Each structure stands twice: as structure tokens, then as C-alpha cells.
Amino acid sequence: MTLEKLAAMVVRGFDKAVTKEYLDGRINELDIKLSNRIDKLDFDISELRDILDRFEENDVFDLQKRVKTLERIVRVMAKKLVQ
């Protein structure tokens, strides 16, 4: 093997080698992407909680109205039965 071939092999090896700086940069990029996605998920979860809270409040309010209506009907029917 000649020195030129050996030098070419070494150069190819260095070209293929991953440097610490490259890895640090990729890790930072992935960290930022992951952080952005987590923030979006947190926001989406918060929005879903708000929607569910409003839905539950409206359901409870609707059920309260319906119960009051049924109570009025029962009172009227009870008065008619007593007469």
C-alpha cells in the first residue's frame, strides 16, 4: 500500500466521521423540535380541557333546567290528582 492510498483512506474516514460539534448541533435541533411539539401538545391539551369544562358546565346547566321543568310538571300533575 502506498502512502497516497493510505492518505486517501484516512481522508475518506475523516469525511465519514461524525464530529462532536455536528452531533451537538443535531441534538440541539432535535431538542428545539421536540420542545416545540411538547409546547403545542400542552396548548392542545389545555384547549381540550377548556372545551370539556365548558361542555360539562353546559350539560349540568341543561340538566338542571330539565329537572326544574319536570318538577313543575309533577307539581301540576300532583295538584290535579289531589283535586
Q: Which pLDDT tens digit goes with each residue over 45-68?
A: 999 999 888 877 778 888 888 999
Tell me the pLDDT tens digit for each residue of 12-42: 877 667 777 888 888 999 999 999 999 999 9
Cα-Cα-Cα-Cα torsion 51, 54, 59, 62, nearest 10 degrees, comes to: -140
Of residues 58 and 83, more confidence is placed in 58
Record the pTM.
Answer: 0.48
71 or 59, which is more confident = 71
C-alpha cell at 21: 460539534
